[in-house]
Amino acid sequence: MRSGRPLRPLLALVVSGLLLGAAGCTADAADQTATELTRPAADAVRVAASDDPTTRSVQVSRALFAHARGVVVAPAGDERAVATAASAARRAHVPLLVTPSAGHPAAGERTPSDDGSSRGDAAVAAELERLGADWYQAEGDVSVDTDVPERDAPDAGDAAAVGRASRPATVVVADRRSDAPAVATAEAAGAHVVVMPAGVTDPAAAPDVVSTLHDRAGHPTVFVGATFRALSDPGWTVRAAQGGWQLPHGGQRPFDGHRWTALYGAPGAPVLGVLGEQDPAATVQRAEQLADSYDGLGDEPVSPALEVIATVAAGDPGVDGDYSRELPVSTLQPYVDAARRAGMPVVLDLQPGRSDFLSQAKRYESLLREPNVWLALDPEWRLGPDQVPLRQIGSVSADEVDRVSSWLAGLVRQHDLPPKALVLHQFRLSMVQDRASLTLHPEIDLLVHVDGQGSQPDKQATWKALHQDAPAGVHWGWKNFIDEDTPMLTPEQTMADVTPTPSLITYQ
């Protein structure tokens, strides 16, 4: 480490190759490194998600700064030093890097004589070299093995206000406190910072994040925080948010922070459910009234939805011999359109007879490409080659469900759609074979919908039985049968007596 005398040069900040400000220079001739931001493509997405704060601070610096005249350095575990360093970095428009502290050793293998600090110091020194820094300012107990001189950071004054990058980055931060260095670096670079809500780890479940990414389409994105390592496809997450569609209470993740009540049935067929008792506009209005009856119940808002039977199990084989009547898209489209105008999702329910779920799902690809359309599989009506509806109860293999979910996840990614729900109806364990092996996809929220009818003790027994050995991470749905339940639960009883509280409550 070499110390130099304090100098206070004005900082020339170059962004996208353009000089942002230079009001004079009192530095010596050697101090001429320009501060320049990176120039990523408009759709670039980078993730700084290391568990190690030192590495994460370097990742953010690399994402935003191509060159910097200097750097401010502080120990990761010293909040006071980090706060002071953050102010200095913002004033000078330079990155803030952190070195390891006792509570935050650098990542990597360590020997008994190596507490990890030397590895982290080396990362900071390497970043100083990459940036071409002429100086660094140290706050707190900092030691960096470098020939770059240590001195106070200059105050760039209003230099950054003269101009900004043509496409300032959007920086999504998991936690403002733990990633204070990243916030400082982002603000020093003129980036727009948005912070995730407390306890939320998926950007698709954060309304403000989705809105920001939508409003700032055409700007590169940086995700900062160890939690974002779980993002399987950050690019899709951003593109889906940029599409702008959000659920009624914000966000795009179907069951994170949302609860739904749905009318169930087939268009023009009152015998199959209440949805078929009125036209699309009146159906939407009735669904809204149903959701209103749950106001104030539970700790999550309750919103309306529709579950529309798209393929209806039939007692005769029909022209194609599959014992399933496939409704045309033109019959379903008015319900999808009316629901979209009201901001509610539509679940397309498949009763395939002797056909298979994937073949039928592909019939409705044009509808499933819409952001508010989800999918439901009803294994009761998935029959074998010699079975007939109402004579036997059907079943489906986990492998077939996986083929559907994989196809649906691919459709979501291909068309940059928000996450979709896949509803799996069930009232017997035998209806879904090898259910524990089901594959979950980040693009899909899987919900098991318990369809038992009859007395409440029987329904509760079915509910409890189906919860056993369920795949981790699935959500749960409950059906209230208006005529068949004895008695049907009121909204208050549904929310109080069904545990865990269902995410989707349908009425048939």
Tell me what pLDDT residue 116 has. Answer: 45
Window from 118-127, 129-138, 373-382 with minimum mean pLDDT:
118-127
Cβ–Cβ < 8 Å for 39, 66: yes
Kind and range of the H or E element at 428? none
Task: Return the sign of the alpha-carbon dihedral for residues 100, 104, 110, 111.
Answer: positive
Q: Residues 237-254: what's their mean pLDDT?
A: 96
The per-residue pLDDT for 8 is 31
pLDDT for position 506: 98
The pLDDT mean for the chain works out to 89
pLDDT score recorded for residue 6? 36
pLDDT digits (tens, 9 = 90+) for 394-414: 999 999 999 999 999 999 999
pLDDT at 156: 67
Stretch 461-465: mean pLDDT: 95
The packing angle between helices 234-242 and 398-414, to 10°, is 60
Q: Is the pLDDT of residue 331 over 60?
A: yes
Percent of the chain at pLDDT exceeding 70: 88
Band (387; pLDDT cuts 50, 70, 90): confident
Q: What percent of the chain has pLDDT over 90?
A: 80
Position 111 scores a pLDDT of: 39
Q: Is the pLDDT of residue 279 over 60?
A: yes
| Residue 444 clears pLDDT 80, i.e. is over it | yes
Can you tell me whether residue 335 is helix, strand or coil?
A: helix
455 or 121, which is more confident: 455
pTM above 0.75, yes or no: yes
| Confidence (pLDDT) at 68 | 95
Q: Is 1 exposed, middle or buried (0-12, 13-18, 19+ CB in 10 A)?
A: middle
Task: Tell me the residue ranges of DSSP E strands in 409-499.
Answer: 420-426, 432-433, 444-450, 475-480
pLDDT band, residue 120 (cuts 50/70/90): low
Give 441's strand partners. none
Task: Count Cβ atoms within 10 A of the Cβ of residue 421 and give its class: 0-12 exposed, 13-18 middle, 19 or more buried.
Answer: buried
Q: What is the pLDDT of residues 105-116, one digit of tens each?
A: 544 434 333 444
Give the pair of three-digit tokens for residue 469: 């050995």
Sign for the CA dihedral angle at 277, 278, 281, 282 comes to negative
Residue 95 has pLDDT above 90, yes or no: yes
* Residue 15 CB-half CA count within 13 A: 23
Query: How large is the average pLDDT for residues 20-46?
Result: 66
Which of the four pLDDT bands, split at 50, 70 and 90, describes residue 121?
A: confident
Quick: pLDDT tens for 64-81. 999 999 999 999 989 999
Q: Residue 112's pLDDT is what? A: 39
Q: State residue 25's pLDDT score.
A: 39
* Pair of tokens at residue 24: 């004079």
C-alpha angle 467-471-472 in degrees, rounded to nearest 5? 100
* pLDDT class of 155 with cuts at 50, 70, 90: confident
Apex 242 CA angle, 239 and 243, nearest 5? 95
Q: Provide the pLDDT for residue 392.
A: 87
Instruction: Indicate the range of 103-117, 279-293, 331-345, 487-501 predicted with least confidence.
Output: 103-117
Q: Where do the domains of the chain lie, and which CATH numbers do they carry?
A: 2-242 (no CATH), 262-507 (3.20.20)
